[in-house]
Structure 1
Amino acid sequence: MASSDSQTTGTKGVSEGRTSRGATWTDGTGSGSIGDDKPPPSGWGVRSEDGWEVLASERSLRTINPIRNLIQNIEVKPNPDKELIKLSIGDPTVYGNLKACEHAKRRFCEVIQSDKANGYTMSMGSEEARVAVARRYTTDASPLTSDDVVLTGGTSGALETAIGAIANEGDNILLPQPGFPLFRTIAEGYGIECRYYKTNPDKNWEIEFGSLVEIADERTRAIVVNNPSNPCGSVFSPSHIEDLMATASMLKVPIIADEVYADMLFSESEFTPMGSKSVDVPVLSVGGISKQFVVPGWRLGWILIHDRNDVLEMGGVRKGIRQLTTRMLVPNSPAQAVLPSLLAQGVEDPAFKAVMEELRENAKFTMQALAGARGLRLIEPQGAMYAMAEVDVGLLGFKDDMEFTEKLLEEEAVFVLPGRCFQAKNFVRIVFAAPKQTLSEAFFRMRSFCARHSGSL
């Protein structure tokens, strides 16, 4: 409809006007206004006479999640004679063997029964919950207060807020290759260009800094890093993080650090947060409770603002982050109320230790069980709950990682994700969060599959 107070539409000579009560019309049959019992004549208004024209937004159509698209649209059917084993989705709750801590579940029930967390909090999260996050993740090198914490609807919400606050349409961000595809999904939805820097699988997926510097320019707004990594299961050493900080400092580009798998390491060494190694580089560190605490459905994440020299404050990024949270109002209020007790024990929580012990054993078992699989080369995981395997498509007779994935599903009813979802040609990602018995059966089938297709059977 036209926005002016009065105008001629040019449609069948109908005159349209706006009043405080709505639109009015006049033609040879009479006159009326929206809300009258008498309907307007055929063809009234400025819309096409050919019918409805309601189009999807460009933003919605350029929003693509490769993993969800694959899982929801794959046409290959698993072998009906075998039980389907899914090693495809990074949800630690799928098989029920990894458990959320009992005291958190009890506390959640108490919160629900109390009727004290059924309403809104501040859009960036309650003060009590933000204090708990700041206390848990503050370090001597990078102290945090509640003002440096913004709570969000899951880590994905934190990523969307961080990227949306720091880059405009037409800007670019630098993403790891391989990397989690949600980075691309969010960025391209915003109209932000994605550029990919290389990582080296033979060096625990360390960043090749030359490739990073080469693709940066004056419209680069952030370097996105995922540590520990999904899909690689890699963990950066403190010295490698220092090299990253030196590179970011030289480029004068801030870092968005996806650290949702913080502390989920298989070695005895401590996790090194990105913010603790920054001297002058602003770091937006995102995390959440989904993986460490085995509650992805609770949908609670956060952004930690490590603002060296107040760069983000002066540029309005802090304000932008807070304003973006008002679009979604508040994260899960009951989960916020539970958060202080959930974070209190940290890595000493018995439930967290139990989860990590099982994942650590599963990682070892994965390496051992697939060591003899012809045509597969596993890169040893150091954290999270993923392993990447390089596929010798020539030896196995496949054209690419997608065909390998489809045939494995079709013949053995084992579902892994092709590397194409992560910008990793001829790799597949294996989630080893299932019970050991399930993994054992899956890996037996994979060994048989590889032997059969390599001609060794």
Structure 2
Amino acid sequence: MENKLCKWGFKNGDDIKEKSLFSIRSVLETIMENLNEEDGRVLIHLGRGDPSSIPCFRTSPVTEDAIFGAVRSAKFNGYAPAVGLYSTRRAVAEYLSHDLPHQLSPDDIFLTPGANQGIEVVTAVLARPGANILLPKPGYPFYEARAACSNLEVRHFDLLPEKGWEVDLESIQALVDDNTIAIVIINPGNPCGNVFTSEHLQEIAETAKKLGIPVIADEVYSHLCFGSKPFVPMGVFGSITPILTLGSISKRWIIPGWRLGWIAMVDPSGLLKKSGIAECLQSYLEYSANPATIVQGAVPHILEKTTKEFFSNINNVLKEAVDVFYAKVQEIPCFTCPYKPDGAMSVMIKLNLSFLEGINDDMDFCTKLAHEESVIILPGMIVGLKNWLRLTFAMEPAILEEGLERIKAFCLRHTSS
């Protein structure tokens, strides 16, 4: 089967570099070009982290009422300040402070059109000639893309599957030099589905302090935890080392299309303000896109009024899906799942090619699976682990089970004799 990645000048997965050349969307589009139009079965998409169209993941009525109320009020039809509406920043500060040992102020919050733009802003503001940034492997490829745009060298540290995808702290010390600007920590984990313990987060903070670098804490999936480990924000350890927390309403409220995120400076010692980072963040946002004012207007109501029952229901659906997933994946001989997810919406699976015939690598597996079974999953190479697979389990359990049955049939059909 022709691999459509050649339209970018690459002929197979071996040619793909861990740079900003590919996004998750572009790779998924390439895989979907291999779908068999004659297959009458419904497409099962296990490659994206947007379950908003699935009935069991519909957002809260409180969220819907909030946006209706913001529209009807006629108060949010104009431009907002570059850093965001004061009332919205205050609401975000109060929301985040519930889980912290100290209170954030509205001046600690900078609103962005989603967490992706938060990544853009933070990397651009911290960048300087010759600088480097520490990113997890596997990780979220948008960081590599933004690092490349800011001429930042990327240095990867490993997440250890045999230790529940904890950070390999020993390896970090060998990566850091005087030009290291920050370390990125994603918790709950995207793409691994892990949740870091409080003890491990403290170790990360203490390592960052020792090395003299701040932590960029990507907490887009905050509180989407359904295992034995509760969510602990990195900001709890902001007194140890400065924390720049990235968050959004996309995942917890299942409204990624509303495009509202934030950068929070969790820095009780005031080091980020003293260094001019706060001023630089505000200056950057003066020349950047802003979240829609109407969404900003809805956020205080959303953060204050969404019920605990809504959140617990979403987590229960995710837990049920994970239980279905983990049981079924044990039946697929070429798959190894080193860790049952505790949080977020995705999981990493090791692909054992020695069990298969006619499959060259993870990209080849995904394109042929799409063609033969109308199932979409993401090759691990896009998140930094070649010959692994990233599957999204944020799906109705029955559909997830059918998707895994199709994957199992595909693997058995290609099993080496």
Cα distance in 2 between the residues matched to 1:104 and 1:85: 28
8 Å contact kept, 1:172–1:220: yes
Equivalent of 1:184 in 144, 155, 166: 144
State the Cα deviation string for residues 64-119 of structure 1 (Å, max 9, x = none): 34312212334423463232211111112143431111021012112112221111
**Inter-CA distance 141–403: structure 2 relative to 1 (3 Å threshold):** same
Q: Which amino acid aligns with 2:387?
A: N
Distance 2:76 2:251 in 1: 23
Query: What displacement does 1:413 show?
Result: 1.1
Contact kept in structure 1, 2:87 and 2:300, CA below 8 Å? yes
User: Counterpart of 1:9?
Assistant: none
Q: CA deviation at 1:234?
A: 0.6
Higher relative contact order (CA 8 A, sep 6+): 2
2:316 alignment partner in structure 1: 357
Cα distance in structure 1, aligned partners of 2:241 and 2:107: 19
Structure 1 match to 2:44: 85
Does 2:111 correspond to 1:137?
A: no
Q: Where do residues 21-420 of structure 1 align in structure 2 (5 Å cutoff)? A: 64-74=21-31, 75-78=33-36, 80-81=38-39, 82-138=41-97, 139-267=99-227, 269-345=229-305, 348-378=307-337, 379-397=339-357, 398-420=359-381
Residue 329 and residue 198 in structure 1: after superposition, are their counterparts in 2 closer, same or farther (change >3 A)?
A: closer
Q: Which amino acid aligns with 2:149?
A: G
Partner of 2:391: 430
AA matched with 1:131: R
1:356–1:78 CA distance, 2 compared to 1 (3 A):
farther
Q: 8 Å contact 1:281–1:308 — kept in the other structure?
A: no
Query: What is the alpha-carbon distance in structure 2 between the residues aligned to residue 400 and residue 79 of structure 1?
Result: 24
5+ residue gaps, structure 2, are: 1-18
Contact 1:153 1:330 in 2 (8 A): yes
For residues 227 and 395 of structure 2, what CA distance do their matches in structure 1 show?
A: 20
2:3 is aligned to none
- Indicate the SS of the match to 1:235: coil
Larger Rg: 1
- Structure 1 SS opposite 2:391: strand
Counterpart CA distance in 1 for 2:413 and 2:101 is 54
- The one-letter amino acid of 2:367's match is E
| Helix, strand or coil at the partner of 2:70 | helix
SS at match of 2:269: helix
DSSP 3-state at the match of 2:182:
strand
Alpha-carbon distance in structure 2 between the residues aligned to 1:363 and 1:302? 29
Counterpart residue type for residue 291 of structure 1? K
Deviation at 1:192, TM superposition (A): 1.1
- Distance in 2 between the 1:412 and 1:140 partners? 47
Measure how far apart 1:143 and its partner are.
Answer: 2.3
TM-score scaled to structure 1, two decimals? Answer: 0.83
**Structure with more of its chain in helix, by fraction:** 2
Change (3 A) 1:80 1:271: same
Q: Which has the higher mean CA deviation after the structures are superposed, 285-294 or 202-211? A: 202-211
SS in 2 for 1:454: coil
What's the CA shift for 1:287? Answer: 0.2
**Partner of 1:309: helix, strand, or coil?**
coil
| RMSD of aligned residue pairs (Cα, Å) | 1.7
Deviation at 1:451, TM superposition (A): 1.8
Aligned partner of residue 245 in structure 1, secondary structure: helix
Counterpart amino acid of 2:35?
K
- Is residue 111–residue 337 contact of structure 1 (8 Å, CA) maintained in 2? yes
Q: Give, in whole Å, the separation in 2 of the partners of 1:254 and 1:327.
A: 25
Name the SS of the counterpart of 2:264 in structure 1. Answer: strand
Q: 1:99, 1:355 within 8 Å by CA — same for their partners in 2?
A: no
Separation of aligned partners in 2, 1:140 and 1:425: 37
Task: In structure 1, give the amino acid aligned to 2:372.
Answer: E
Secondary structure of the corresponding residue to residue 424 of structure 1: coil
Q: In structure 2, what is the Cα distance between the partners aligned to 1:332 and 1:64? A: 29
Secondary structure at the aligned position of 2:51 is classed as coil
The CA distance in 2 between the partners of 1:307 and 1:349, in whole Å, is 28
**Following TM superposition, by how much is the alpha carbon of 1:268 offset from its aligned partner in structure 2, in angstroms?**
5.3
Query: What CA distance in whole angstroms lies between the structure 1 residues aligned with 2:174 and 2:228?
Result: 35
| SS of equivalent residue, structure 1 residue 388 | strand
Q: Take 2:113 and 2:349, find their aligned partners in 1: how far apart are those partners?
A: 32
Percent identity for Structure 1 against Structure 2: 33
Q: How far did 1:215 drift?
A: 1.3
* CA distance 1:338–1:349, change in 2 (3 Å): farther
CA contact (8 A) 2:133 2:152 kept: yes
- Measured in 2, the distance between the counterparts of 1:293 and 1:451 equals 38
Letter in 1 for 2:404: F
